[in-house]
Each structure stands twice: as structure tokens, then as C-alpha cells.
Amino acid sequence: MTGAPAPITPIVLRSVSQRFGRKVVLRGVDLELRAGSITGLVGANGAGKTTLFLILAGLLQPDGGERRFGGREVGDVDLELRARLAFVAHAPQLYPGLSARANLELFAELRRAAGLSSRPADDVLRGLGLPVDALDRPVSTFSRGMAQRVALARAVAGDPELLLLDEPFTALDARGRSQLAGALLAERDRGAAILLSSHDQGTLLRVCDRLVLLEAGAIVREVERGGDDPAAFAVRAAAVLDAVGPDDHAA
């Protein structure tokens, strides 16, 4: 809810680490996500991207390090914080038997039951270019790309201050990708802090204000879009993206 007093941005991770037995997933990650900015998270599969998302979304307690939301250290990501962030995971996480509208309305009603506001389902869906006649079909009949858009619609319906997107472009066609990119830019302009992971290099270059490279659980490189020289950013960003390797997901 944007009417809430202090903003939860910037979101800061400091020395965040996570391991499972001898398998280290994250080793001392420092990351800052600012309001009105899109951060692209790139890295090979298994670099720890998803774990980082889970920690930011409050679905996993890190083994070590701090999470700070708006300057306040956070132990549990409690309901009040979850009300102000949204997570679009790699899977669309929709009830396949319910229609797109029923899926969205369930979460909108859950928000309202907690006293939180939510934008009407039809509005958000139309903003993402979903045909309105598809709204009442069960999600199980949807293509992956359509389901992904419904998931994003659910995420933005609550006007989150922190928007986390793990591979949202997977299985989207070119048009879908550019619509999604447009939606993300709109969210950024609204003032959301956005963390986005993707293998789609073109779209990352287009929307991101910053790129961070995660390698074997640590952030090894970081490039920021300077105000003056877009070409320089593209060159430096290309170097980061090259480090990840070829575009193996988007096909």
C-alpha cells in the first residue's frame, strides 16, 4: 500500500550467505535495490539467482548477513512487508483449474481481507495485453507466455514497492517480451524497485538501469547506466553478459 508511512526502499543485502551442507549457494552477497530503478541479475544456471530471490521475497531465511528494507534490519519478512513486495517466480504459480480472473481475484480478495488495496483485475490484465475474452478460461488452457503475464498482473495489482522477477521472459514471443518490458518500465516509473533475472540479453540491455553478475554465489561485477553516455553502458554491459555465456534460454 503506497499510503504507508516510510518506504521500504532501498532494499539492501549485506554479506548475505546461504549454504546447504557443503554446497555454498550464496557467499557474502552485497546488493542494493533503489526505488525507480531496474536491476538486471545475470549469471549462469546454478549461480544462486533463485536463492537470492527467495531470500528477498522472505521465503528463505539466509544463513548469514543482513536484509535491510528502508534502512531497517529485517528478521522475518512479515505480512506488512510482504504486502509491499511481489515475487514472480520462474513457474507462474497459478491454480490451473481456476480462470485467470479467479486467480487474480483470489489474491486481490486476500489482500483486501488484510485491509490492503488492489487494482481491479481487468485493468491490470488489459495493461499487459491479454485478450479480455481469455480471462474466464481456466489457466490450464493458457500458453506459458500467457500464464506468465497473468502472474505478472497478479504481482503488480498491489502496486508493490519491490518487484522481484525470476526469468519472466521465458517462453514469451517477441511481442510478449516487448509488452512485458513496457509494463516493467511503467512500474519503474511508478517508483518500484525492480530486480529482474533473465537470459534474454536484448531485453535486459533495453530496460535495465544496472546489471549485476552473479557467479558461483557472489556478485563479481556490476555496471550502471550513466546518465550521459548510453553507448558506454551498452559496451560495458555487453562485457558482463558475455561472461554469462550464450543466450541459452530464450529461443
Partner 1 sequence: MLHLAPVRLLRQSLLLLRSELRQELRDLELVLTSTFFTLVVLGMFYLSFAALEKKHTLPAVPGLLWLTVAFVGTITLTRAFDREREADTLRALLAAPVERLAIYVAKAGSTLLVLLVCCALLVPGLASMFPAGQVFWDMPLETAALVVLGCLGYVAIGTLFAAGLAGGGGKNMLLAVILYPVTTPVLMFALVTTRALLDNNPNLPSYLGQMAALDVILLGVGALLFEPVLVGSAPARSAAAAQRAARAGARRQESP
Partner 2 sequence: MKRKSELVVPLLFVAAAPLVVYSVQRVFLHTPNERTMGTAFKIFFFHVPMGWLCMLMALISGIAAYVQLRRRSRTAGAVALAAAEIGFLGGLGVLLTGPIWGHATWGTPWTGDARQVTTALLWLVIAAYLLLRHFGQHASERLAAALAIFGAVNVPLIYYAVKLWKTTHPTTGVVAKLPPEMWATFWPGLAALLLVSFGLFAIRARQLILAGELDEAYVRLEDSRA
Residues that bind partner 2 (CB under 8 A): 19-22, 24, 27, 61, 63, 216, 218
For residue 89, give Cα distances in angstroms to 115, 167, 195, 218, 242: 25, 7, 12, 21, 25
CB of 188 to partner 1, least distance (A): 21
The listed partner (partner 2, partner 1, none) that binds 113, CB under 5 to 8 Å by sort, is partner 1
The listed partner (partner 1, partner 2, none) that binds 19, CB under 5 to 8 Å by sort, is partner 2
CB of 218 to partner 2, least distance (A): 8
CB of 62 to partner 1, least distance (A): 10
Tell whether omega for the bond before 10 is within 30 degrees of 0, i.e. cis.
yes
- Is-contact 147 103, C-beta < 8 A? no
CB of 145 to partner 1, least distance (A): 16
Q: Which is closer to partner 1, CB of 28 or CB of 129?
A: 28
Find the angle CA(172)-CA(173)-CA(176) to the nearest 5 degrees. 70
The listed partner (partner 1, partner 2, none) that binds 20, CB under 5 to 8 Å by sort, is partner 2
Binding site for partner 1 (CB under 8 A): 14-15, 28, 57-61, 64-66, 74-76, 79-80, 82-83, 86-87, 89, 91-98, 102, 106-107, 109-111, 113-116, 154, 158
The listed partner (partner 2, partner 1, none) that binds 57, CB under 5 to 8 Å by sort, is partner 1
Q: Is the dihedral of CA 51, 56, 59, 60 positive or negative?
A: positive
Q: Which is closer to partner 1, CB of 93 or CB of 141?
A: 93
Starting at the edge strand that comes first in sequence, how are the strands of the sheet with 11-20 ordered? Answer: 23-33, 11-20, 64-69, 72-73
Q: Please tell me whether residue 228 adopts helix, strand or coil conformation.
A: coil
Q: Which is closer to partner 2, CB of 22 or CB of 251?
A: 22
CB of 207 to partner 1, least distance (A): 23
CB neighbours of residue 49 within 10 Å? 23
Q: Which is closer to partner 2, CB of 20 or CB of 246?
A: 20
d(CA 116, CA 118): 7
CB of 16 to partner 1, least distance (A): 11
Q: Is the dihedral of CA 237, 15, 73, 111 positive or negative?
A: positive
